[in-house]
Amino acid sequence: MQTHEIRERFTEHFVKAGHAAVPSASLILDDPTLLFVNAGMVPFKPYFLGQQNPPYENGTATSIQKCVRTLDIDEVGITTRHNTFFQMAGNFSFGQYFKEGAITHAWTLLTDPVAEGGFGLDPERLWVTVYLDDDEAAEIWEKKIGVPAARIQRLGMEDNYWSMGVPGPCGPCSEIYYDRGPAYGNEGGPAADDNRYMEIWNLVFMEFERGEGDGKGNFPIVGELPKKNIDTGMGVERIACLLQDVDNVYETDLLRPVIDAAAQLTGATYGEKQEDDVRFRVIADHSRTGMMLILDGVTPANEGRGYILRRLLRRIIRSARLLGARGETLETFMTTIMDTMTPSYPEILDNRERITRVAVAEERAFLKTLESGTHLFEEAAAQVKSTGRDTLAGQQAFTLHDTYGFPIDLTLEMAAEAGLEVDMTGFETAMAEQKARAKADNKAKKHAHADESLYREWVDNHPTEFTGFSELTGDATVLGLVAGGQAVTQATEGQDVEVILDTTPMYAESGGQLGDRGRILTGDAVLDVNDVQKIGKKLWIHKATVRSGGIDLGSKVRVEVDGDWRHGARQAHTATHLIHAALRQVLGPTAVQAGSLNRPGYLRFDFNYTDSLSPGQLDEIGLITNQAVDADWQVNTVETSLDEAKKMGAMALFGENYGENVRVVEIGGPFSLELCGGTHVEHSSQIGPVALLGESSVGSGARRIEAYSGMDSFRYLSKEAALAGGLATALKAPTDELPERISQLTEKLKAAEKEIENLHRQQLAARTGELLERATRIGDITVLATRLSDGVSAGDLRTVATDLRGRLAGTPAVVALAAADGTKVPFIVGATKEAVEKGVRSGDLVKLLAGYIDGRGGGKPDMAQGSGADVDGLEAGFAALRDEIGKF
């Protein structure tokens, strides 16, 4: 039985039983707790949590939900049980049937003959598990379904109790297993061997509410839910495995064609070697997951969902190469998996070209990275082994990742295959530094999309000599020119070009300090340098525009740093050291730098700290910083060994591997002593005043201080002084009395606003009597549906509606109000308790009204509201609302 037929039978079975067929939701939902939809019940969470009423006539639904789980991505292929993408078929009851209904529905579908719409499984091979003390479920299975007691096993909370992992709905569950026979393991049921006994369906009896707790079973049950719900999940792939009589899910009709395509492309044979079989399975699994993610709008990226997709696609490419493939493979794999999945997901047909284009573009970019990265890894691995060690340094892994775009997961895989480990602590600290320094407004300038293998020759053989610590001008030779991602021999007027020199006084961006600006001169040619970046920590890339003339490979040039730019950058960078030292004095040694940005006149400093800073702490940090400026301390730099620097007490940030020789920057003796490769002023007084702008959160456990330095600080402080002077003149008060005067004015303003609000509410209350006169009777329900004067806000509508509903209490009544407030049309519907008892639901009436005014809304049975955009549809909407009320 083909998988698409299994899906159809499942849906038809429950539709015949009165369930609403609900299409699969996208893999990407607006749920901040989930990267992807990872369970069939996820789209129904609002109904289980009681946040919304289920919109299904019979209170039951069925769906086959697309799901992705990537926590165990490294296990894919190693066993035959892990898939990153799977289809979860489920049936759901929201306060309707409970245990007996769920058990009966599942059993009949599984065991009914194929000719009668079932799956035709042998009931003698089915086992079930129930929760330890769930006597009710056990009795239903034995007495009403007829499963022998010997094939009913009781398991604990770890196996047979479901919750969302947080306080909320929970309940015991019952799982159905299929005995695949002695060839797959030991006798004794699921409790003895869950490989032989394959789980195919989980029935969750959601009837309780859980409290706080850790783990799957360590939490209290705090009460019962108002309604008992059913949530079940049947694994489509697992049922297909059984009905197609294959060994595992990789051999079903959906995935085996991809394995066959891989065998044809690579020349390898599936089933001969374990390591090859793992690679075949990775290709099959990841091709399907990748295709479905692209289908739902995910594109390859370096973070979030995009990173998961990129990682999947790159694992496919590398697995295919290890099997013997040469050249591109993703188009074949994507075409094959789209063919197998289209019968179940027809929308693939309209997206084939886009899916293929995204996958192939990622493959072409990665193949270049893979070739150079593999060679570099092999060199590094050989070097490690030659010294008798078994661990690849974290900095080496980071260089592969950062400089050559080689993903760390591939480095880990290749290291394992070579019998090596990777120093992940070292890698993560280097990664933390890189992320902390990353600047969103500068990403495009950091070769994020460039093929950095282009620079390999220069990195290896012609590292740049930096002379900028001692000079701002210098002579150099052009070793390389890059334009449009290609090496060129010349650049002409108006062209953007990257210039590689043998030596340069220009500082390349690192340590948070932006690269220098300046000029490159040769003959009549003038190039404006607008950025300088590093490749592999060895090569300086001067990003320039040819303003006049032209430049050739091999040219002798004069390099000039913009002195004003460098001076401002040095001020900001040195100020960062002072702020770091001051911050540690105020907050203690746990406040450690987590990144910085220094540009002329401005700095931002990120540090690890859990609490926000008080105004007093910020003032103290500013005071200590400016005291250090006023002290006119000499800024000393010393080049020494790393061991010697540590003995001196120098701070090494981010746990970076600094190499044999390091540069220590010392300001005021013990006040500030750090390892740093940036440029700095000669004396602290040259920084000028430092003005702290404030501090803020930049993530969990991370804070940020921003400040001006030098003339930017002076201009900022002057502007603040002028503002204070203007306020003092306007308020006729000395500047030192401004806070008190402004506080007094604020209090007066608040009192006036409160008085105005009270008057406004009194006016609204006075109007309710007039509005009641417009009410009419529809049957035995009093109905007031009217438009108020324009300009009435949504909050005012709620106030009036609540007052009216209160005055109508004791009788069935519905109040529907709307108004035009600018471009919006707020509206609200309220119902008395007596009207709700008759079946009136304000939420339903709001949705009805919304349809006439291009709006949306929702709420509870007694009060619901929304907002629309078409005021002209109000009267028709009110008429429809009255007609609907007339049905009660």
pLDDT band at 119, cuts 50/70/90?
Answer: very high
Dihedral-angle region of residue 92 (phi above 0 means left; psi in -120 to 50 means alpha; beta otherwise): beta
CA distance 16 to 816: 38
Range of the domain at 677: 567-713
Q: What tokens does 158 get? A: 């770890």
Work out the average pLDDT over 340-369. 88
- For the beta carbon of residue 549, count every other beta carbon within 10 angstroms: 15
Same domain, 156 and 278: no
CATH number at residue 548: 2.40.30.130
Nearest to 671 by CA among 571, 605, 582, 592: 582
Evaluate whether residue 676 is within a structural domain. Answer: yes
Work out the average pLDDT over 821-832. 90
Same domain, 32 and 118: yes
pLDDT score of 535 more than 70: yes
Sequence-distant (6+) residues with CB within 8 A of 204 are 41, 162, 171, 173, 230, 231, 232, 233
Evaluate whether residue 269 is within a structural domain. Answer: yes
Evaluate whether residue 574 is within a structural domain. Answer: yes
Give 3-state DSSP helix, strand, coil % of the chain, rounded to 5. 45, 25, 30
How crowded is the C-beta side of 820, counted as CA atoms within 13 Å?
12
CA distance 458 to 502: 10
**pLDDT digits 0-9 by tens, 276-303:** 999 999 999 999 999 999 998 888 877 7
Same domain, 155 and 229: yes
Q: Which of 529, 545, 561 is the last residue of a domain?
A: 561
DSSP calls for 366-430: HHHHHHHHHHHHHHHHHHHHHTT--EE-HHHHHHHHHHH---HHHHHHHHHHTT-EE-HHHHHHH
Of residues 694 and 763, more confidence is placed in: 694
Q: At what angle do helices 99-111 and 3-16 cross, to 10 degrees?
A: 140
Same domain, 259 and 383: yes
Evaluate whether residue 457 is within a structural domain. Answer: no
Residue type, 651: M
Length of the chain: 888
**Looking at the whole model, is its pTM more than 0.85?**
no
Same domain, 840 and 701: no
Same domain, 67 and 172: yes
Q: Which of 250, 284, 312 is the last residue of a domain?
A: 250
CA distance 888 to 883: 10
Same domain, 133 and 108: yes
**pLDDT digits 0-9 by tens, 694-712:** 999 875 456 899 999 999 9
The number of distinct structural domains making up the chain is: 5
Q: Which of 15-24, 717-726, 825-834 is predicted least confidently? A: 717-726
Collapsing DSSP to helix, strand or coil, 832 comes out as coil
Same domain, 285 and 299: yes
How crowded is the C-beta side of 739, counted as CA atoms within 13 Å?
1
- For the beta carbon of residue 1, count every other beta carbon within 10 angstroms: 16
Binding residues for Zn(2+): 573, 577, 676, 680
pLDDT score of 449 more than 60: no
Evaluate whether residue 732 is within a structural domain. Answer: no
Which pLDDT score is estimated for 221?
A: 87
Is 594:583 a contact under the CB 8 Å cutoff? Answer: no
Is 645:478 a contact under the CB 8 Å cutoff? Answer: no
CA distance 174 to 102: 10
Is 175:203 a contact under the CB 8 Å cutoff? Answer: yes
Same domain, 624 and 498: no
Residue type, 550: G
Evaluate whether residue 144 is within a structural domain. Answer: yes
CA distance 192 to 187: 7
pLDDT score of 44 more than 70: yes
Is 522:513 a contact under the CB 8 Å cutoff? Answer: no
Neighbour-count burial for 6-38, b at 16+ CB within 10 Å, e otherwise: bbebbbebbeebebbebebbebbeeeeeebbbb
Write the CA distances from 221 to 89, 161, 162, 210, 800, integer angstroms.
Answer: 28, 12, 12, 4, 41
Same domain, 801 and 787: yes
pLDDT score of 254 more than 90: yes
Evaluate whether residue 742 is within a structural domain. Answer: no
- Residue 218: enclosing H or E segment and its boundaries? none
In DSSP terms, which residues pair with 818 in a beta bridge? 787, 827
Q: Which of 675, 698, 713 is the last residue of a domain?
A: 713
Nearest to 291 by CA among 252, 348, 249: 348
Of residues 515 and 703, more confidence is placed in: 515
Work out the average pLDDT over 99-104. 96
Evaluate whether residue 470 is within a structural domain. Answer: yes
**pLDDT digits 0-9 by tens, 837-863:** 999 999 999 999 999 999 988 888 999
Same domain, 22 and 164: yes
pLDDT band at 452, cuts 50/70/90?
Answer: low
Q: What tokens does 105 get? A: 């529905």
CATH number at residue 811: 3.10.310.40
Sequence-distant (6+) residues with CB within 8 A of 345 are 292, 295
Same domain, 48 and 168: yes
Of residues 831 and 43, more confidence is placed in: 831
Where would I find the H helices in 296-329?
304-322
Binding residues: 573, 577, 676, 680
